[in-house]
Amino acid sequence: MRKDSTGISTMVGMAIIIAIFFTTLIPLYLYMSSLYSLLSNETNSRMIRDVDRETEDLKLFVEGKSGINQENPSISVILKNTSPLLIRVERIWMMNVETGSPVGDAPCIDRVLDVPPGWNVTIQVNACVQGFTGRAQFIAVTERGRLFGSEPIDLLRGRIISGLFPYTLTVSVINMKRGSEYTIDILPLGDADIHPRSITYKATASNENISLSFGATAGTFLVYLSESGVLVSTSRLLAPPTNPVAVTLPDYWNAIFILSRSPIQPVTIDLEISAPTRVLEGQSFQFQIILSLPAQADEDVRVNHDRIIQAIRISGDYEQNTLQCLPIAETLTPGSTSIALSCSLTAAELQGNRNSGSITITVNQLQNCGTGVNSGQPYPSDQDSTTIDVRRQKGR
Amino acid sequence: MERDVPPHTNPRCGPRGKRGDTVILGEILLFAGVVTLGLALWGLSLGYVTSHSTKLTEDYDRFVSRQRGFLIVEAVSLQSNVVWVSNPGLNDAAIISCTIYPKTTPSPGIRYNVRGVIVEASSYRPTALIGCERFPGPPPYTVEVWYISAHLYNPQDPARNSMYALVARYEKG
C-alpha cells in the first residue's frame, strides 16, 4: 500500500512537470520560433522591396512639337523603363523649378500607368502645362516609392521654347526722333505665334536706326509701329505704305519702317573767354575759351579749334607772337560745357611812366565753330570779349 | 478455547492499523503537496510565458512595423507650406510632425505640429499635409516628416510615439 501511494505522487508530479513542459516551454519555444520566422520573413520581404526599389530605373523625356495647333497635343512625357522590373507609375507632378512648387498644387497625371521592362510609354501632359510660362520639371512617383525626374525645360505659354520658334522676324526702324519712344507690337494671325510680342525702345539720338529680331513660327503677322504711344501715320512713313504692315513667314523675314528724316537745325554755340582780371607787366598768363552747346541741339558737335584760334583778336599791352593755344575738348554733347582751348599769352613791359595798361582779348563770331557729327552742318558761335588790366611790377 | 481480546488490543489490527493511517495521511499530504506545488509552478510558468510572450509580441510588432513602414515626400509647396506625402509601405502611417527648415541648420526634431493625420498604406492618392512648420533661412531646404505606424499611434503618449517614429526627408533647392 505504501509503495503504491508514493508511486502515485511521483507520477502526478511527473505528470505536472510534463504538463508544464508541454504547456509552457514547448509553446513558448514554438511561439518564439514562429515570431523569429515572421521577423525573418518581414526582414526578407523588406529587403526584397528595397532591392526592387533600388532596381527601378525610369527615364523621363519631355517631347514638344513645334506645331501650333492648339487642338492637338504639343507636349508629351515619355517614360522609359530601363530596369528589369515592371514599374507602376502612380503620379506625375509638374514642378515649377523657380518656385520649387507643383504647378497648380496638384499632380499633373493622377492615374496608374504600368511600364513593362524595356518599354516606353508616352503620355500627353498638355492639360497641366496649359498656359504655363517658366522652367518646369516632371517628376514621376512609382508604386515602390521612387521619384524620377526629367531634365528641366523652358515653357512659354504651355509650349516648349526650344524648337518652338524656328523662324526669325526682323523689324527695323530707320530715322527715329531723338527722345521719342518707339513701340513695336506684333499681332500673330491664326495659328502663328511670336515671342516677344511687344518691344519699346527710346531713341537717344536723332535719326537713330535699330533692328530687332523676334522668334516666330510660320504664319502671318501684323507689325505695328507707335511713336510715343501714338500709331505712326502713313504720312510720316517713307516706307512701308501702311502701318501696320503684314508679314508672312517664311516668305518674308523682315519689316522695315523708314520714317521721314527729322531735319536738324544747328543751334548757336555759346562762347566765353575765361581770363584773369589783372596781370603784371612782362608776366605770362593763361586764359581759356569755353564752349556751351545748348540742350536743344539734336546731335553732338565736333569743335573746330583752328577756326576759333583764327578768330582770336588781341590788342593792348602784350608781347607779339607769344600767343599759344592747346586744344582740349574735341566734341560737345547737347547741354554740355567744355573748355575748347587753353591759351597762354605774355603781357608787355609798360613803357614810359605809365603804371597800368590793358590787354583786350576778343573771339569774333564764327559761322563754323563746330560741325554736327551726324548732319555735318556748321554750328555758329557768338562773340565774346574780355579786358585784362596790366600793372607795373613793384620796385621798378 | 479462544481468548477474548479487546478490539484495540487485537494484535492483528490494533497497532498495525494506526501505522497504516499515518502512512496514508502522509501519502495524501505528499500527494497534495506535489499537486499544489506542481500547480503553482505550472501557474507561475504560464504567467511568465504569457507575459514574456506578450512583451515579445509587442517588441516584434514594433520591429515589424518599422520594417513595413515607408513614407515618401512627393512634392512641397514653399509658398503655402503644403507637403504631399504618400505611403507605399504596408502599414497605415500616422503623421506626428512636419517641418521645413534650411539645410544648413540642424534638424528641429519632432515638433508634434501635425497630429493624427493618417496616410493609408499603398494609397494611390497623395495626402496633403497642411500646417507644416517653416523655419526662416535661405534655401536649400530640408523637408522632414515624422510618422509612426497608425496602430502604434497613441495621441495621449507623445513620448512613446516619438520612440517608434520614422522619418522621411526631402531636399528642396
- The count of residues in chain A is 396
Tens-place pLDDT, residues B97-142: 999 999 999 999 888 888 778 999 876 778 899 889 999 988 889 9
Is A1 in Cβ contact with B78 (below 8 Å)? Answer: no
Interface test with B, best of A17, A41, A46, A89 (most B CBs within 10 A): A46
Could you give the CA distance from residue A109 to residue B42 in angstroms, rounded to a whole number? 63
**Residue A203, all three cell numbers:** 531713341
Please answer whether residues A221 and A169 qualify as being in contact, where contact means their C-beta atoms are separated by less than 8 angstroms: yes
Helix-helix angle B14-68:A26-55, to 10 degrees: 10
- When CB atoms are compared, the residue of A19, A100, A143 closest to B172 is A100
Q: CA torsion A256→A261→A267→A269, rounded to 10°?
A: 40
ipTM of this complex: 0.72
CATH number of A167-259: 2.60.40
Residue-range domain boundaries for chain A: 58-160, 167-259, 270-391
Could you give the CA distance from residue A217 to residue B40 in angstroms, rounded to a whole number? 95
Tens-place pLDDT, residues B16-57: 556 677 878 888 888 888 888 888 988 888 898 889 889 988
Is B45 in Cβ contact with A100 (below 8 Å)? Answer: no
- When CB atoms are compared, the residue of A38, A101, A144 closest to B88 is A144
Write the CA distances from B165 to A331, B117, B120, B161, B169, integer angstroms: 78, 14, 16, 6, 13
Tens-place pLDDT, residues B51-80: 988 998 888 888 888 888 889 998 888 888
* Distinct helix (H) and strand (E) counts, chain A: 4, 32
**Residue B61, all three cell numbers:** 510588432
Taking contacts as CB-CB distances below 8 angstroms, the residues of chain A near B52 are 28
Average pLDDT score, chain B: 83
Please answer whether residues A20 and B41 qualify as being in contact, where contact means their C-beta atoms are separated by less than 8 angstroms: yes
Domain A270-391 annotated CATH 3.40.50.2300: no
**Residue A223, all three cell numbers:** 507689325
CA distance A213 to chain B (A): 34
Please state the rounded mean pLDDT for residues A380-395. Answer: 88
Please state the rounded mean pLDDT for residues A256-267. Answer: 85
Buried b / exposed e across A54-89, counting CB within 10 Å, b at 16+?
Answer: eebebebebebeeebeeeeebbebebebebebebeb
pTM assigned to the model: 0.56
CATH number of A58-160: 2.60.40
Are the folds of A58-160 and A270-391 the same? Answer: yes
